[in-house]
C-alpha cells in the first residue's frame, strides 16, 4: 500500500530563514509536513497562502505537523532576493521555517520547484509521516478543506508506532479538546 504514493522529492535549498539549522525530509520523517511554495511578490501568496501556512504552523504544532515554506522564485529574480525576503518575513510576522529554493545555471525555475513539477505559486503539498507526497495543489485552498486534509494525515499512525498502538489511536492526543468541555460546567441531563 505504501507504494501507491510517491516519496516526496528532496529539497534543494540555498539558505534557511526562521531556522537555525537546515531542514530536510529525512529529519522530519514521522511528522506530517505541510510544504508551501510562494513568492514574496505574488499577490495570492501574500494575501492567502503565506498567512494560511502560518496559521497551520501555529494550530497544528501539537499534532506532529511541521510547516515549511519554500521561496520558489521563478520571475523577477533580482526583486526577490533573500535580503528582501527576510524583511518580508519580519514585516508579516512569519515564524515558520522558510527555505530559499536553489537555482541552477540559467534556468529561471528553481530546482525544488522543478522536482515537484509545480505549476506556479502559491502551491501547497502535504507529505505524510512516511515521507510520501499525498497532495499537491496549485492555487488557493480554503481553510476548512486544508484543516480536514492536514488532520486526516496527522491522524494516521506512523509506521514505527503502529505496532505498539492499541485500538484507539488519536485518543491520547485529545487532551486539548477535553479541556474545552469542562465536566462540571456541562449540564448532565441524566441527573
Residues 159-188 binding a second copy (CB under 8 A) are: 161-171, 173-174, 176-178, 180-181, 183, 185-188
Binding mask 113-132 for a second copy (x = CB under 8 A): -xxxx--------x------
In angstroms, the CA 47 to CA 98 distance is 17
Strand pairing category for 65-71 and 98-101: parallel
In angstroms, the CA 37 to CA 79 distance is 17
Residue nearer to a second copy on the CB measure, 27 or 165 = 165
Is residue 123 within 8 A of residue 138, CB to CB? The reply is: yes
Residue nearer to a second copy on the CB measure, 9 or 16 = 9
Is 79 a binding residue for a second copy by CB under 8 A? The answer is yes
Task: Please name the residues in contact with 167: beta carbons below 8 A apart, sequence gap of 6 or more.
Answer: none
Judged by DSSP in three states, 172 sits in: helix
Is 92 a binding residue for a second copy by CB under 8 A? The answer is yes
Query: Following CA atoms 152, 48, 70, 138 in sequence, which dihedral angle do they give, to the nearest 10 degrees?
Result: 70
Q: Among 23, 59, 102, 109, which residue interacts with a second copy (rule: CB under 8 A)?
A: 59
Is 136 a binding residue for a second copy by CB under 8 A? The answer is yes
Is 152 a binding residue for a second copy by CB under 8 A? The answer is yes
Residue 143: CB minimum distance to a second copy, A? 4
Alpha helix ranges (H) inside 49-188: 50-59, 82-91, 111-115, 143-154, 159-162, 175-180
Residue nearer to a second copy on the CB measure, 21 or 55 = 55
Residue nearer to a second copy on the CB measure, 68 or 146 = 146
Is 109 a binding residue for a second copy by CB under 8 A? The answer is no
Total number of residues that touch a second copy (CB under 8 A) = 81
Amino acid at each position: 500500500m505504501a507504494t501507491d504514493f510517491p516519496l516526496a522529492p528532496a529539497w534543494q535549498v540555498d539558505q534557511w530563514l526562521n531556522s537555525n539549522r537546515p531542514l530536510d525530509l529525512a529529519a522530519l520523517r514521522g511528522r506530517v509536513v505541510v510544504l508551501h511554495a510562494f513568492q514574496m511578490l505574488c499577490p495570492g501568496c501574500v494575501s492567502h497562502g503565506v498567512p494560511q501556512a502560518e496559521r497551520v504552523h501555529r494550530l497544528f504544532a501539537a499534532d506532529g505537523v511541521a510547516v515549511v515554506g519554500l521561496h520558489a522564485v521563478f520571475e523577477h529574480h533580482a526583486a526577490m532576493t533573500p535580503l528582501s525576503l527576510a524583511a518580508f518575513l519580519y514585516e508579516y510576522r512569519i515564524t515558520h521555517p522558510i527555505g530559499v529554493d536553489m537555482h541552477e545555471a540559467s534556468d529561471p525555475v528553481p530546482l525544488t520547484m522543478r522536482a515537484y513539477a509545480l505549476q506556479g505559486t502559491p502551491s501547497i503539498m502535504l507529505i505524510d509521516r512516511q515521507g510520501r507526497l499525498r497532495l499537491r495543489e496549485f492555487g488557493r485552498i480554503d481553510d476548512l478543506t486544508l484543516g480536514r486534509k492536514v488532520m486526516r494525515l496527522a491522524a494516521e499512525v506512523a509506521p514505527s508506532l503502529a505496532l505498539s498502538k492499541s485500538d484507539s489511536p488519536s485518543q491520547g492526543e485529545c487532551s486539548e479538546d477535553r479541556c474545552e468541555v469542562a465536566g462540571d460546567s456541562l449540564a448532565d441531563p441524566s441527573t
